[in-house]
Every structure is written in C-alpha cells, then in structure tokens.
Chains A and B, each alone.
Chain A
Amino acid sequence: MSDTNADQGIPAPEGSADIIDTDYEIGQDNIDGSLGPFGFDIHNPVFAISGIAIVAFVFYALALPEQAGSVFTWLFNTVTKTFDWFFLGAANIFVLFCLLLIVTPAGSVRLGGAEASPDYTYIGWFAMLFAAGMGIGLMFFGVLEPVYHMAISEPLGVPSPFNEAGELIPENVDAAKTMGLAATIFHWGLHPWAIYAVVALALALFSYNKGLPLTIRSAFYPILGERVWGWWGHVIDILAVFATLFGLATSLGFGAQQANAGLNHVFGLPIGPTMQVIIITCITGIALVSVLRGLDGGVKVLSEINMAIAAVLLLFVLFAGPTMVILSDFVTGLGAYLVDVVPLSNPVGRDDTGFVQGWTSFYWAWWISWSPFVGMFIARVSRGRTVREFVICVLIIPSLVCVLWMAVFGGVAIDQVVSDPANSAVKAQVIDSYNPPLSLFAMLEGLPLSSITSVIAIVLVIVFFVTSSDSGSLVIDTITAGGKVDAPVPQRVFWCVFEGAVAIVLLLSAGGLQSLQSMVISTGLPFTCVLLVMCFAIWRGLQAERRA
C-alpha cells in the first residue's frame, strides 16, 4: 500500500490561519469496530462514562423516587438561590464580551481562515440557529411570561395591575404592561444569545481556524495545552454531554406537556402520562428520520419549514389581534428593555428576589446548560463568517426576533387580560390558576379562527421539538465520537432514541420535570465557569489569529 499519508500526522497548514500544532490526531482515542452488523466509532472514555452515568441517574430517579425528588428539589433551590448573583454576573460578562468583539479589530477574523466562504445562505443559517436555539421556549413562554411578569412576579418592584381580589387597578396598568414585556425580552434577548455566541464562537474558532476537533474541550487548548486530551478534557466533554442530554430531555418534557394540552384543548384527547409518552415517541420517530437524512436533508429543511410556519402564526396573531397596540408594544417594550436592562441584570442588592431567583437565575442556568448543544450546532453551520458578522447575527438579530415574538404574543395576551379581565381565558390560565401549557391556546382562543391556529400551534410545537432533538443528537454524537463528524450513523440513532427514553422515564417518575430541571440547573453551574474561561481562550485565540 503506497498510501502512508494517513499515518503521517498532520503537516503544516496552508494559508493565513493560525493552526495549533499538536500531536493529537482526531479520533486517536476512539474505539471503532462493529456490534453485530452495526459499526461504531466512539471516544473512550467519554461515550461510556456519559452513557453509564445517565443510565445510573435514571435508575436512581426510578428506584428511589421520594429520596430523589427531595434531593432534586433541594438542589434546584440551592443552586438558583445561592448562586443567583453568579449567574447574573457571568451573563453580563458574556454580553459585554460579545459587544467588545463587535467593536474591536478582533471582529474581522474570518471563521475557517481568511479565504473561507460561507457554507449556508443567511436564511438557511438563521433558520437553523434559531430553531435549535429557542424554538420551543417561544411557544411555551411567549404568552405565559409577559402576563406573569406583568401581574405576578413584579420585577424591579413594579406593582401588579390586579389587587388581591383580582380586580383591575387602572393606574398601574401601563407601567406593569411595559415591565411585563421588558422583563420577558430581558430573558430572551441579548443575554441568552450572548451565552450561545460565546460557546459557538469558541468551537468554530478552535475547529475551523485552529484545526482542533469539534468538541468543547478544544476551546481549552490555550489554557490546558496537551492536557486537554486527557482527563481534564474528558470531564469537560462529559459535562457537555450531560448538559445537552438533560437540556433536551427537559425540552421534550415541556413540549410533550404543551402538545398534550393543545391536543386536549382542540380534539379533547386525554391529558396524562400515556398520551405524553405517545407524543415523545412520535417526536423521537420524526427526529430519527431527520437525523438519518443528515444536516442538509433533514435538520436544515425542517428548520426552514419551521420558520415559515412560525412566521405565518406570528403574522396572523399580529393582524388578527389589535395590530396598532401590538406595534406600539413592540416599540415601548424594546425601549423599556433598553432602559431597564441594567437594573434588571444587576446581580446584587435586589429586592425582587422572587423574580431574580425564580426566573432570571433559572433562565441563565438553563441557557448555559443548553449552550454546549446550541453553541456546537451554531458553530457547525457558521463556517465562512467573520467574527463580527457572526456575533451581530447571533446576538442582535435573534434578540430582535424574540422581542417581536414576545411583543406580539405577549402584547395580545396582555391586551386580552387588561381590556376584559372577567372573560379573559389567559387570565384564567395564568393568573387565576397557573396552567402554563395552556396559556398559548388560551390566547389564541381570544382571536378568530382559533380552532385552526391552535392546530398550527400544536404542529409548530412538535416541529420545534423535532429540530431540537435531531440537532441535539448530532451534537452529542460528535462529542462522544471525540469530535468526528463522520462517525457511523447508527450512533446518532442511538442518541436520538436515548434522549426520548430518558425524557419518557423521567416524565413518568415521581419527580417528573422537576428532576430534569434540577439536573439542567446543576450542570449549568459548573458550565458557567467553563464559559468564563472560554471567553479568555477566545480572546487569546483571536489575537493569535490576527498575527497569523
């Protein structure tokens, strides 16, 4: 055999990228072979440890449900309450860091080397990063959050427009309404996208420009050096797999509940674990098809379909609702956000602890634990963009879309609540009783053609889940294959089915979603430290790139 190239290691690169010189070969720690007829190519020990630990966790939740339930509740409360300042402070750092990248010369570095050209059009790129990044949350929280913050959580001490007896206090309405929108935008605007941007940028930079494998550990090369290929790196990657899997399972849980509530609302199907198991199984089945069709044939196509349906629903609500009121809400909400973003993101000395700990702190931990997944996915589809273009597109545009979405869905819902509180279905489902999965359908009920729009909303919830599940499977597979993107396809199938199974088992267990959420939050805490270090690594990497 004349080909000796495969064993020669990697020669010096061409072009003006600053490739890191390491003896590590991608896949050198992998075990490949076949299990019966199916081939595999997995990283040792990341695949085995993360797989076994997740199975052990699921068994624990099933075998000792009461003990597990109290442990999870304790964990959830401790992390969100004790470390609220840490999450808030760290998220502020990420936003400032991203803004810094936009304005400094480092922003002109191109991902993939100076001559790289983008692999995807703006629309395809944007659809994918949006569908993976938020999707379902917008459906679940779009109505719930603005109404809840307006009437119940009282961010920054802005009083509720309803008194104890549930009667409207007209003079409080305007301020509460604006704060409801501003607080929601705060949770869905710059901060979450800055978190994603940091991880995505780190991964894209260290893979495309530095030639390291596409796994989270690569971003730590400037700090840990060759040790990154040993246990330090294993721990980082295993944490990322945990965060991604539990994050996805939580979303599958939310989605199953909302789809179930919607199906009950429209078709009268029963609400309960059996139905939710059927829903998760169906979503996983569709995700499997998408995973088998790959990034371009599956994930991208579904993301684009998704964006189109979401745009239709958004436009419908905009024009079927009080259009002028919504547009003015959009402007005032955005203005209020810009004014209040500093006090809202202040990490210390806050009086509105219910809002900070119950919402902001939870959200930040949630976004952070989602960040390896979304960040890695964004990185994978972002080759050829400059850092500035990348940060603007990942930070500013999605934030604006979220503002619009929240202003439209939340604006209509708030309008329904304050203009006719007695007959408002939203008020009944959010303020009088707390029934989050139904809030969206309650809002749609107040608009014409609700039987049609509710069905569209259910479809959208399901497709958003599929796009999260399929892109999540790709990401976990890549991490557990040591950064290889061409590992055998059955591995993706394994992770896709595994995610669905974890979601089903935990949804059926006593702790239910609470156990999933507390796992998400607990992995979010160490990952915040990982992200802070990443900012430093990105900065160093970009400086080296500019000198190259």
Chain B
Amino acid sequence: MFKRIMVPVDLMHAEKLEKALLCAADLAAHYGATAVYVGVTASLPSKIAHTPAEYAEKLAAFAASQATERGIATEARAYTSHDPAVDLDPTLLKAVTETGADLVVMASHIPNVADHFWPSNGGSIASRADVSVMLVR
C-alpha cells in the first residue's frame, strides 16, 4: 500500500521520537516500503553539526543505523532552512513532494492551549499535506 514513508526527525531530540520511529519501521517492514528520514537544519552551527554538510552526514548515519537495527530500507534527506523555528512546516511540506512519500509518520505532542496560537508541526503537516499523515503522540 505504501512505498515511501517519510519520517521527519529532530536529531537533537531523537530520544523523544522512539515511538514514531518504531511505528514507521514496523509499517515499512510490513509494506516493504523505504523509510525516508528527513531532517531540517539551519545554515548556522547547531548543537549537533557545524555545517549543513555535517548535518547531512549525521542524518545519513542515523538512517543507516535505523536500517541495520530495524532491518528495513532507509534513506536520508537533509534540508537547510534560514529560519527553522518558523519555516519548519513549509520545508517539511516541500520534502513530502520531493521525496515522493505516500505516507508521513511523525511524532507530535499532546495538544495544549498553545496549539491554538502555534499549531504543532505535526498538526499543521496533517492539515496541509496531500498524502496520508500518521501522528504518533
């Protein structure tokens, strides 16, 4: 049913993504799909990488470790954004198209009052992407 499953990942908080990662891996194994891990970084140095190129390498290493550990086919796509705090949603939506994903599996927090002002990234992708989106809370 699904061929390419896009999984947005935040390498800085990878520990919080465990449920979503597991879920995406199970679905990928079940449908024989490729899990495409998408990360968004700023062009400025961050905690985990000095440069966008280094970030891309780390993401690729992450995808490779997922492949070994979960026994699925994986890919990595790193995107650079000028202002990731604000531009994350449009960048992820662009990634949905460019990766040719037919399903997005992403972690999201439990909605709270702040979501009325700042919708969660997951919520915003689910309402705007034209493919199926599975949010893991």
Contacts and interface: CB of A to CB of B under 8 A. Distances in A.
Interface of A: 1-3, 5-6, 10-11, 13-15, 17, 19, 25-28, 36-39, 112-113, 119, 207-208, 211-214, 292-298, 380-381, 383, 483-490, 492
A295 B42 CA distance: 12
B1 interface: no
Contacts of B13: 6
B13 to A, nearest CB: 8
Given A37-B113, A208-B44, A294 B83 contact: yes
Nearest to A300: B82
A38 B116 CA distance: 11
A383 B85 contact: no
Given A119-B82, A296-B87, A486-B85, A214 B118 contact: no
Contacts, number: 118
A486 B114 contact: no
B69 interface: yes
Contacts of A14: 51, 53-54, 57
A26 B47 contact: yes
A207 B44 contact: yes
B47 A489 contact: no
A485 B52 CA distance: 14
A182 to B, nearest CB: 39
22 contacts: A1-B18, A2-B68, A3-B14, A3-B15, A10-B48, A14-B53, A15-B51, A27-B46, A37-B113, A38-B114, A112-B51, A113-B51, A207-B44, A207-B45, A211-B51, A214-B44, A214-B45, A298-B86, A483-B45, A485-B83, A489-B86, A490-B118
B83 to A, nearest CB: 4
Contacts of A15: 51, 53
B53 A489 contact: no
Contact of B86 (A293, A383, A483): A293
A466 to B, nearest CB: 16
B97 interface: no
B45 A5 contact: no
Contacts of B114: 36-39, 490
A493 to B, nearest CB: 9
Given A14-B51, A15-B51, A490-B114, 11 more contacts: A1-B18, A2-B68, A3-B15, A5-B48, A6-B13, A13-B54, A14-B53, A26-B45, A36-B113, A37-B112, A486-B46
Contacts of B57: 14
B69 A2 contact: yes
B118 A489 contact: yes
B111 to A, nearest CB: 9
B65 A2 contact: yes
Contacts of A489: 85-86, 118
Interface string B36-76: 00000011111111110110011001100110110000000
Given A485-B85, A486-B85, A10 B50 contact: yes
A228 B119 CA distance: 37
Given A207-B45, A486-B46, A1 B14 contact: yes
B15 A486 contact: no
Contacts of B87: 294-297
Given A5-B11, A37-B113, A484-B46, A13 B82 contact: no
B85 A294 contact: yes
Contact of A5 (B44, B58, B84, B85): B58
Nearest to B59: A5
Contacts of B86: 292-295, 297-298, 489
Contact of B43 (A13, A38, A208, A294): A208
Contact of B85 (A26, A27, A212, A488): A488
Nearest to B46: A26
A278 B27 CA distance: 56
A380 B44 contact: yes
B47, B48, B115, most chain A CB atoms within 10 A: B47
Contact of A485 (B44, B50, B65): B44
A6 B44 contact: no
A119 B43 contact: yes
Contacts of A212: 45
Contacts of B115: 37
Contact of B62 (A5, A25, A292): A5
Contact of B51 (A17, A214, A484): A17
A207 B52 CA distance: 12
Contacts of B51: 13-15, 17, 112-113, 208, 211
B27 to A, nearest CB: 18
A475 to B, nearest CB: 13
B45 A211 contact: yes
B29 to A, nearest CB: 15
